[in-house]
Structure 1
Amino acid sequence: MTLQWTAVAFFLYGEIAVNLIFCIPFISAQRWRKVFSWRIWNWLSPYWNKCFFTMIMVLIVLFLDALREVHKYSGPEPMQDAKVNPNVYDHVHMKLFRAQRNLYISGFSLFLWLIMRRVVTLLNQAAVTLESSAGLQAQMESAVKAAKQNQEDNLRLKQALLDEENSLSAKNQQLKQEVEKLAGQLKTAKEAVNKSDAEVEAMKRQAKGLAHEYDRLLTEHHQLQNLQSSEDKKDQ
């Protein structure tokens, strides 16, 4: 194997190892996001796209070269020569085998290179989604807790209003009873006042009658005194 294909093979093995590491189940997407947030990746990020597309171009060139070799050694002309000379037959099959091997190595390297980039992107998206879902879950729990708190406050307020309404109803009933009691007392007082007024009127009439009787008696007394005086004068 030449140096370039040895490098491609090691690159393929590295891709397989990295993808297997990405598939480890107990390493979460958040941890991979923390790993991808290291400063070294931020430092390499300006060169990452250039390196990615450069590797794609290199692997495509190697894949096309391997495909050309496969087409070259699987054509009718090398096979005709191989039938004539057995050594050439072994040599052609060896070349065909190497070309096919190189085709598979370059093809799988290109495929896994694209897959690895896609896996990294999906891991970042999954971490962001999980963080967003965790934030939404926290907001939902906070909203549910706030709704429960509001419901409890509404129930307490409703109970307080009901108690206040019952208290006001009891106070109104008590005030109504007091008003009725005061109305009865007022009626009794009014009847007593009317009775007192009647008694006062009766006393006034009685006093007036007594005054008339007194005046009459006083007049009769004066008349008797005058009569007595005139009889005394006659006797002298």
Structure 2
Amino acid sequence: MSIQWTFIAGYVYFEVAVIILMILPLFSPRKWHAFFRSRLCSVFKEKAIYFYVLLGVLGLFLIDAIKEMRKYSSHESAHLASEMKNHVKLFRAQRNFYLTGFAIFLSFVIRRLISMLIIQHELELKADEIIKKAEDTVKMAKTTVLANTFQNSEDIEIRNKLDLAEKLVQEQKLRINELEQEASMWRVKYEEVKCNLNAKGDD
């Protein structure tokens, strides 16, 4: 295997290792988010042009591998040794095609995984914020319900006291009426006694 294809094979192995590391639950989305926002990743983002250059080079190697596959798949030879060489070259072209294709495909897979991890972290933050707001709303609702219940109990107690006061007032009015009637009766009796005494004095 030549140097360039060895490099591409190593790049594919590196991509596979990165994908496995991202898929395994070794680090939380929060840690991945902190890593993606770190200074090291910011340096890679600034040098993103090299990533697209690498994809362009891989695309050229892919096109070259496709040409080689077409060349040796259509080439036929009457000699066995020549045909064996063609098969070997066709196998190498197919191997190079698969290596380059996987390298390009896994590059987009890694980019998508990074976006998904960042989105997952942001969704977790929003979910925590929504849960916190919901808990605060529930606490506020409980406080309001308790306050209304307490206020209603106070209103009932005041209403009972007012009813009791009105009942006492009615009883006092009835008592006053009875006393007035009794006083009137005693006044009448007093007038009768006074008249009787005056009549006896005249006699």
Query: Within the alignment, does 1:56 sit opposite 2:55 as a pair?
Result: yes
Query: Within the alignment, does 1:8 sit opposite 2:2 as a pair?
Result: no
For 2:82 and 2:128, locate their aligned partners in 1 and report how far apart those are by CA, in whole Å.
Answer: 67
Residue 122 of structure 2 corresponds to 128
Residue 222 of structure 1 corresponds to none
Between 1:18-27 and 1:33-42, the stretch displaced more is 33-42
The residue type paired with residue 141 of structure 1 is E
For 1:196 and 1:28, locate their aligned partners in 2 and report how far apart those are by CA, in whole Å.
Answer: 105
The residue type paired with residue 180 of structure 2 is L
For 1:113 and 1:11, locate their aligned partners in 2 and report how far apart those are by CA, in whole Å.
Answer: 10
For 1:35 and 1:87, locate their aligned partners in 2 and report how far apart those are by CA, in whole Å.
Answer: 55
The residue type paired with residue 103 of structure 1 is F
- Structure 1 residues 66-116: Cα deviation after superposition (integer angstroms, max 9, x where no partner): 1111111111xx22x2xx222222221111111100000000011100000
Select 2:135's aligned residue among 112, 137, 141: 141
Between 1:148-157 and 1:135-144, the stretch displaced more is 148-157
For 1:100 and 1:27, locate their aligned partners in 2 and report how far apart those are by CA, in whole Å.
Answer: 37
Over the aligned positions, Cα root-mean-square deviation in angstroms equals: 2.4
Alignment of 1:19-30 (within 5 A): 19-30=19-30
Distance 1:113 1:190, change over 3 A: same
Query: Within the alignment, does 1:104 sit opposite 2:101 as a pair?
Result: no
Query: Within the alignment, does 1:89 sit opposite 2:83 as a pair?
Result: yes
Residue 71 of structure 1 corresponds to 70
How far the C-alpha of 1:150 sits from its partner, in A, is 1.7
Percent identity between the two aligned chains: 25
Unpaired runs of 5+ in structure 1? 214-236
Residue 172 of structure 2 corresponds to 178
Residue 18 of structure 2 corresponds to 18
For 2:47 and 2:39, locate their aligned partners in 1 and report how far apart those are by CA, in whole Å.
Answer: 14
For 1:51 and 1:189, locate their aligned partners in 2 and report how far apart those are by CA, in whole Å.
Answer: 117
Distance 1:190 1:39, change over 3 A: farther
How far the C-alpha of 1:193 sits from its partner, in A, is 4.4
For 2:63 and 2:148, locate their aligned partners in 1 and report how far apart those are by CA, in whole Å.
Answer: 74
Query: Within the alignment, does 1:43 sit opposite 2:43 as a pair?
Result: yes
Select 2:146's aligned residue among 144, 152, 159: 152
Counterpart of 1:74 in 2: which secondary structure? Answer: helix
Task: For CA contacts below 8 A with separation 6 or more, give which structure has more relative contact order.
Answer: 2
Larger Rg: 1
Q: Please, what TM-score do these two structures have when normalized by structure 2? A: 0.88
- Structure 1 residues 155-204: Cα deviation after superposition (integer angstroms, max 9, x where no partner): 2222221122122212221222122212322333344445556666x49x
